[in-house]
C-alpha cells in the first residue's frame, strides 16, 4: 500500500483581511503554514519593512544604516526605498511620539503619514509606541485625516481599543490588536473589538513575539496554539491573520549590533543580523504568521524566495545574498 501522509482534520480557516487602498489580501489559509499537501493558501505571507518618523541612524546598527543610507531622514524617501527593496507593506513607526522620548504631537504624525502615502501606493501600517493615551491621540488624528485609505492602525490594546477601534470603524481603517503573549488575551481582545462593531476583515492580531534567543519560544508557541485553535478547533474568535514585529527585536539585540571584529566567531556583522532576522522569520511563519515586519532588504529577499519555494515548489534560483566566510 502506497504511503499516505496522515492528515489533520481542519475545520476552520483564517479570515481574509483586505489591506490598503488596493485591498491586498492577507490570511485565508485553511491549514498550517507550509502544509501544502493538505490545505489551500490563497495569499502567501506578506513582508513589511520598517520606516521611522525620525532618523534613527544613531540607534540602528551599521547593517541597516548602509541599506537605507540617504533616506533615513525622510519617511517618504525611506518608504519608497522599502518598496524598491521588495516590501509588500510599509510600517511607519511613530517613534518620535513617545512621551518618554521626543514626545512629538499628532500634527507631526499626520505629516509623516502624508509623506509616506505620497511616496508609495502599497498598504501602510501606522504604528504607535504602545502608550495607551498617546497612541489614541496620534492614531485618531491619522485615522480622521486619512479617512477611507484603509490604513492599518496599531497597536490597539485592551486599554485603548474603544477609542482607536471606533476611529478605525468611523474612517474605514484596519487595526492591529496587540496582546502580551497569551492565547486567551488575544481571543478576549478580538471579542472586544468585534463587540464594538469592527468586522472581522478589519482585524489583524499581534500576539507579541520576542526576539530570537530572547524568549522567542513563548510567542512562537502562543502563535502555534492560536493557529491550532483557529484551524482545528474552529475557534472563530482566533481566526484573524497574525502579524509579528520580530524584526525590531532582532535588530535591537546585542548580537545584531556587535561589529565583526569584536567577535569573529559570530561571523560578518551584517550577514549575522540578516540571518538572525531570516531564521526567526521562517520560524514564526511556520507558527502561522501572515505578515512579517522586518528591517533588512537582504532578509526580505531570502524570506521571499523561501516562501515561494515552500509553497510553489521548484529549485532555488535567483540572486541571493551570499554568506562571507569569516576566518578567525
Partner 1 sequence: MALTGIQIFKMLPGTNCKKCGAATCLAFAMNLASGKAELDACPDVSEESREKLSAASAPPIRPLTIGYGDTAIKIGGETVLFRHEKTFFNPTGIAALINDSESDADIAAKVKRYQKMQYSRVGLNLRPELVVVKGGARLADAAKAVVANSDLSVILYSEDPAALKAAAEALAGKNPLIGPATKANCAEVAAVAKEAKAPVWLKAASMDEVAELTKALTAAGLKDIVIDSGARTVKEVFTDSVAIRRAALGGNRDYGFPTIAFPAEITDNLAMQTAIASALIAKYAGVVVLGDLDGAMVFPLLLERLNIFTDPQRPMTMVQDIYPINNPGENSPVLVTTNFSLTYFIVSSEVEGSRVPCWLLIKDSEGLSVMTAWAAGKFSGDDVGQFVKKIGIEEKIKHKSVVIPGYAASISGDMEEELPGWNITIGPREAAHLTKFLKDYKTA
Q: Name residues contacting partner 1, limited to 181-240 (CB under 8 A).
A: 210-218, 220-221, 224-225, 228
Task: Name the segment binding partner 1 (CB under 8 A); options: 29-37, 83-91, 112-120, 187-195.
Answer: 29-37
Shortest distance, position 147 Cβ to partner 1, whole Å = 31
Tell which residue, 153, 194, 190, has the closest CA to residue 174. 153
Using CB under 8 A, count the residues that bind partner 1. 71
Q: Does 315 bind partner 1 (CB under 8 A)?
A: yes
Binding of partner 1 by 265 (CB under 8 A): yes
Residue burial 48-87, b: 16+ Cβ < 10 Å; e: rest: bbbbbbbbbeeebbebbeebbeebbebbbbbbbbbbebeb
Phi, psi of 176 (to 5 degrees): -110, 115
**Phi/psi of residue 66, nearest 5 degrees:** -65, -45
Shorter beta-carbon distance to partner 1: residue 76 or 218: 218
By CB under 8 A, is residue 309 in contact with partner 1? yes
Q: Single out the segment in contact with partner 1 by CB under 8 A; choices: 144-152, 169-177, 187-195, 251-259.
A: 251-259
Question: Is residue 220 classed exposed, middle or buried when 0-12, 13-18 and 19+ CB atoms within 10 A define those classes?
Answer: buried
Site stretch for partner 1 (CB under 8 A), options 9-17, 113-121, 138-146, 269-277 = 269-277
Hey, which residues does 255 pair with through a beta bridge? none
CA–CA dist 260, 192 (Å, integer): 47
Q: Judged by CB under 8 A, does residue 119 bind partner 1?
A: no
Point out which span in 68-76, 77-85, 109-117, 270-278 binds partner 1 (CB under 8 A). 270-278
**Interface with partner 1 in residues 53-92 (CB under 8 A):** none
Is 90 within 8 Å of 48 (Cβ atoms)? Answer: yes
Amino acid at each position: 500500500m502506497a504511503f499516505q501522509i496522515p492528515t489533520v482534520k481542519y475545520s476552520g480557516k483564517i479570515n481574509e483581511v483586505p489591506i490598503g487602498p488596493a485591498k491586498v489580501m492577507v490570511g485565508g489559509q485553511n491549514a498550517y503554514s507550509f502544509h501544502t499537501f493538505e490545505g489551500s493558501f490563497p495569499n502567501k505571507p506578506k513582508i513589511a519593512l520598517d520606516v521611522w518618523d525620525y532618523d534613527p541612524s544613531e540607534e540602528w546598527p551599521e547593517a541597516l544604516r548602509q541599506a537605507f543610507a540617504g533616506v533615513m531622514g525622510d519617511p517618504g524617501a525611506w518608504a519608497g526605498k522599502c518598496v524598491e527593496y521588495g516590501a509588500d507593506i510599509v510600517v511607519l513607526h511613530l517613534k518620535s511620539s513617545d512621551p518618554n522620548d521626543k514626545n512629538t504631537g499628532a500634527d507631526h504624525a499626520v505629516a509623516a503619514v502624508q509623506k509616506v502615502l505620497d511616496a508609495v501606493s502599497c498598504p501602510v501600517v501606522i504604528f504607535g509606541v504602545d502608550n495607551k493615551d498617546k497612541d489614541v491621540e496620534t492614531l485618531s488624528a491619522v485615522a480622521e485625516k486619512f479617512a477611507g485609505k484603509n490604513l492599518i492602525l496599531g497597536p490597539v490594546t485592551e486599554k485603548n481599543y474603544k477609542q482607536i477601534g471606533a476611529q478605525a470603524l468611523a474612517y474605514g481603517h484596519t487595526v492591529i490588536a496587540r496582546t502580551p503573549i497569551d492565547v486567551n488575551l488575544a481571543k478576549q481582545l478580538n471579542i472586544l473589538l468585534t463587540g464594538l462593531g469592527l468586522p472581522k476583515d478589519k482585524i489583524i492580531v499581534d500576539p507579541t513575539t520576542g526576539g530570537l534567543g530572547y524568549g522567542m519560544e513563548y510567542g512562537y508557541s502562543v502563535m502555534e496554539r492560536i493557529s491550532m485553535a483557529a484551524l482545528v478547533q474552529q475557534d472563530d474568535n482566533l481566526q484573524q491573520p497574525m502579524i509579528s514585529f520580530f524584526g525590531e527585536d532582532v535588530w535591537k539585540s546585542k548580537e545584531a549590533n556587535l561589529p565583526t571584529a569584536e567577535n569573529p566567531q559570530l561571523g560578518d556583522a551584517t550577514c549575522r543580523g540578516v540571518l538572525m532576522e531570516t531564521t526567526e522569520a521562517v520560524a514564526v511563519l511556520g507558527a502561522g504568521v501572515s505578515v512579517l515586519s522586518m528591517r533588512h532588504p537582504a532578509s526580505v529577499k531570502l524570506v521571499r524566495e523561501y516562501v515561494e519555494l515552500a509553497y510553489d515548489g521548484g529549485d532555488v534560483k535567483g540572486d541571493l545574498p551570499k554568506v562571507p566566510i569569516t576566518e578567525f
